[in-house]
Chains A and B, each alone.
Chain A
């Protein structure tokens, strides 16, 4: 079983580990093969999600990987929540 350290880090987003799992599977599929990639990285996915992913063709995996990469740049994580270095608080 893979340790957490094997999971590719996208943003450290703990809320939806499925994002990390999806990305990891899409990235690993070309080298591991889709079934092994799901086995290795799909632990946090529901059974239905695993079934859906297992049904994808190679071209579909590549298309989704391309979309996933683009989403990394268009859905940037919030990076600076700091409000203590002389910036005003919300209250």
Chain B
């Protein structure tokens, strides 16, 4: 018989955030879940951010030293082989990166992110980002070489993240997760035994967390056969939504007792109340059990924000994060009050673009944020949207709290009628906008409810209020012409003094968007899923105007690529400074104002930090430029997808097993701190044989300005 909730208030349960995702601040889902559990009478919950803990473990000098030793052995082994495979070539290029790294460099880079002074020294900060990106590439030598794209998995690599065959293959998952084994085999396993956990939940919110969530679930089941194991989060919900047969998700998580789709607060309380019951006997909105193999889609719960408790941010060990001060994610609203955009497929529901709009009462928000002040003073409002009416009341209410905040909002004309000044007075330092397109016809098709004239005025009002604007849009919407795509860039170029960051991506057509549900409205004759994708994350389409099959990225031509370079600012992207809505960008907006970056290096509090060393190396190979690298793998995967075939790991590994015999008359290279290399041509070598002081100084400046 199940216990009643109040009969075991200290029931121990653990909620885990798996790698690989942003280590600069904790994702907020677990804070909300712990609050709901507490309100339900369960106070024995603990949080484990296995993402930041794993990265912190792996970044320590002892671990890095072992990694570097493995990398250098790899260099030697490849050099001794007569015939190389493409995989050998890629491993060699990645292993060479180790020569620019010393064991303490990655940990020092993380220290830079945590330091109040070093963090805001932009040249130094950029060098730290370079080191971390190099280090994460090196970590991939323990998995599929090149499997990471910064602090995320690369989805156009060996393993197909949309293939049930690949994702349910323990060997492939084990290889993807292998770089994290030193943490999983020690600290993580130990944590599983430090209390008699009755329930463990994995909060999986990004595709990039999927491999480690699967691997950690396997470990949990092995170590704790009797524990109730649950997985939830937006990625779990998305996979259920994107599978033809939702029950197939159990192929990914055969070791789990429950899966939760949709918002998880009520579901968690139900699971805790019935922790002693057989899983098959547990029912609740959003809860999936293996025994209930209904073919229909599970019902999704929508929480009542008025009655929710204050998120439990105290659960996190804040100094562990890669940031000089806490950045707290908080959600005063959920869903979108507009909820009409035809491209949008964002929520956990399937009957409208995103979740229904709900607002937490302003007095409750103020109470929450007053409690948050004990932890930090920088907030990212993690919302889909906030209505102007709500935003105005929120700004007035929180102004006395002296917080700094940012959010993603809709472009509403009320911004030009004084709202920007009110937002600035309440501590707003940056706003991101889905501006989507500057082509009137496309905006109409999207049903965005904005026009470029008003957007220009809004950007001007934001600049006057010293609020940083981050502009997001896309090209390649169905039926969009090249001229219309160019308008989206031209608008940004025309208003380039009024925004700090802009990102124009490729339109991705998803299955539950209005475009996919009513294709003929958008000139689409046929929707096509790639063969090999069981989880249909995107669709290609054939337009009625022609027989051309289109998919994400097809709209790009040289003119658009040139325009894209013109609006690119900064070399780094999320989770670092320069990434839209990243916590690091938020802190830079707070420090340096609406333009985000210091006006010059002199403005940042630089200290005398010598550039990281560059290392010369003589490789026996004549031309590393012909070696297979990450770009070659992307090209192979991309070409297959253009043919409508989404390759699986078996295909990509076959491609990588092709043998080559590279020429071996040697070449001299210089390996840079970000792991890339310069080919030292005879002309460069001649100059560097007896360099002048001016040359050395100029070269140092050149590299330093590139963030190296």
- Interface, chain A (partner B; CB < 8 A): 9-16, 18-19, 22, 49, 52-53, 55-57, 59-60, 62-64, 66-68, 70-71, 74-91
17 contacts between A and B (CB under 8 A): A18-B701, A56-B695, A60-B694, A63-B684, A63-B686, A63-B688, A66-B681, A66-B683, A75-B707, A81-B503, A81-B579, A82-B503, A83-B432, A86-B346, A86-B538, A90-B574, A91-B27
Asked if B551 lies at the interface with its beta carbon under 8 angstroms from chain A, I say: no
Known contacts A13-B568, A52-B697, A80-B503: A67-B684 contact under CB 8 Å = yes
Contacts of B579 in A (CB 8 A): 78, 81, 90
Rounded to whole angstroms, the CA-CA distance of A59 and B677 in the bound complex is: 21
Contacts of A71 in B (CB 8 A): 678, 702-703, 706, 708
Asked if B78 lies at the interface with its beta carbon under 8 angstroms from chain A, I say: no
Do A91 and B698 touch across chains, with their CB atoms under 8 A apart?
A: no
Rounded to whole angstroms, the CA-CA distance of A10 and B565 in the bound complex is: 7
Do A75 and B706 touch across chains, with their CB atoms under 8 A apart?
A: yes
Among B206, B568, B598, B702, the residue within 8 A (CB) of A68 is B702
Among A18, A80, A90, the residue within 8 A (CB) of B505 is A80
Do A86 and B698 touch across chains, with their CB atoms under 8 A apart?
A: no
Asked if B498 lies at the interface with its beta carbon under 8 angstroms from chain A, I say: no
Rounded to whole angstroms, the CA-CA distance of A14 and B496 in the bound complex is: 10
Q: Which of B172-180, B460-468, B507-515, B641-649 is the contact stretch? A: B507-515
Rounded to whole angstroms, the CA-CA distance of A23 and B473 in the bound complex is: 30
Greatest chain B CB density within 10 A among A11, A68, A88, A91 is at A91
Rounded to whole angstroms, the CA-CA distance of A59 and B705 in the bound complex is: 22
Count the B residues whose beta carbon is within 8 Å of the partner chain — how many? 81
Contacts of A53 in B (CB 8 A): 694, 698
Among A11, A56, A83, the residue within 8 A (CB) of B581 is A83
A1 shortest CB reach to chain B, Å: 20
Rounded to whole angstroms, the CA-CA distance of A21 and B234 in the bound complex is: 46
Nearest residue, chain A, Cβ from B579: A81
Do A77 and B692 touch across chains, with their CB atoms under 8 A apart?
A: no
Nearest residue, chain A, Cβ from B380: A91
A88 shortest CB reach to chain B, Å: 6
Do B565 and A64 touch across chains, with their CB atoms under 8 A apart?
A: no
Do A77 and B571 touch across chains, with their CB atoms under 8 A apart?
A: yes
Do B508 and A79 touch across chains, with their CB atoms under 8 A apart?
A: no
Rounded to whole angstroms, the CA-CA distance of A80 and B434 in the bound complex is: 14
Contacts of B566 in A (CB 8 A): 9, 12
A29 shortest CB reach to chain B, Å: 12
Asked if B122 lies at the interface with its beta carbon under 8 angstroms from chain A, I say: yes
Contacts of B702 in A (CB 8 A): 22, 64, 67-68, 71
Contacts of B582 in A (CB 8 A): 90
Among A12, A16, A22, A84, the residue within 8 A (CB) of B568 is A12
Asked if B255 lies at the interface with its beta carbon under 8 angstroms from chain A, I say: no
Rounded to whole angstroms, the CA-CA distance of A85 and B474 in the bound complex is: 7
Known contacts A11-B565, A81-B580: A88-B684 contact under CB 8 Å = no
Among B343, B501, B683, the residue within 8 A (CB) of A86 is B343
Among A22, A60, A86, the residue within 8 A (CB) of B345 is A86
Within 8 A of A (CB), among B649-687: 672, 674, 676-679, 681, 683-684, 686-687
Can you list, as one digit per residue, whether each of B424-439 has a CB less than 8 Å from chain A (1) or not (0)? 0000000010101000
Contacts of B569 in A (CB 8 A): 12-15
Rounded to whole angstroms, the CA-CA distance of A63 and B682 in the bound complex is: 9
Within 8 A of A (CB), among B380-400: 380, 382
Rounded to whole angstroms, the CA-CA distance of A22 and B700 in the bound complex is: 12
Rounded to whole angstroms, the CA-CA distance of A4 and B195 in the bound complex is: 64
B273 shortest CB reach to chain A, Å: 29
A46 shortest CB reach to chain B, Å: 9
Asked if B111 lies at the interface with its beta carbon under 8 angstroms from chain A, I say: no
